[in-house]
Structures are given as structure tokens and as C-alpha cells.
Amino acid sequence: PPPPPAEGDGEEGEAPPPPAEPKPTPKPMPEAFEFCKKLVLQHSLKGVEGHVDLFSHSDVQLFTNYITTSYMHHYKLYQYVAAHDQELDKHSVTLFVNTAFPPPPPRG
């Protein structure tokens, strides 16, 4: 027989949901930019501690251009979206698929 439920578990045999993980605290923009620079250098320059040869010089230029001209301009928006709970808007759609009839046998 299954073990008896612990007190306050709700329905019989149903485990309580795991506690929600706390959301990480967003970094201020200057700190996030420094962290980004550190990771780019670590993944592109030989001799840097923890080096992983991943990006070429042109890759670093393109990435840096994107970070400074686009991502950091919208950083506060990304922080807001990532840090605030969103209301779940769940939709379901039923899809009916009509299959073709097999072709008639050839007349012979």
C-alpha cells in the first residue's frame, strides 16, 4: 500500500509542489557590461584565465557593436520583463485535418 500522506499535503498521495526558486537580482547596467566584457575577453584572448578559443577578432567587433548599440539601450526593459511575473495567457486550438480519399482503382 502507498504511504500515508503527510499532514497538510492536500489530496491523498499528492506531493506538495516544490518551493519556487527565488529570482536572481538583476545587475546594474555598468556591472552587467563589465561582466559581459570579461566573458568576451575570456572567450577570445589567449592568455586570459579560463580562456576558451571561441570568438575571432571580427566576431568580437560584431558582438561589441551589437551590445553597445542595441542590447544596452534596452537593458532596463529586459530587466523589467525578466524580473516581473507575467500573467499566463494560455490558448488552445482544435485543428481538424481532412485527409484525402485514396484514388479510385484504375479501370482496366
pLDDT at res. 31? 92
Which pLDDT score, from 0 to 100, does residue 9 have?
47
Output the pTM of the full model.
0.49
Average pLDDT over residues 90-94: 91
11 or 62, which is more confident: 62
Report angle CA 81, 60, 44 to the nearest 5 degrees: 110
Question: pLDDT tens-digit profile of 16-75?
Answer: 778 777 777 778 888 988 998 888 888 888 877 777 778 888 988 999 899 888 888 898
* DSSP designation for 104: P
pLDDT of 4 higher than 70: no
pLDDT recorded at residue 17: 79
**65 — phi, psi (to 5°)?**
-60, -45
Mean pLDDT score, 83-88: 80
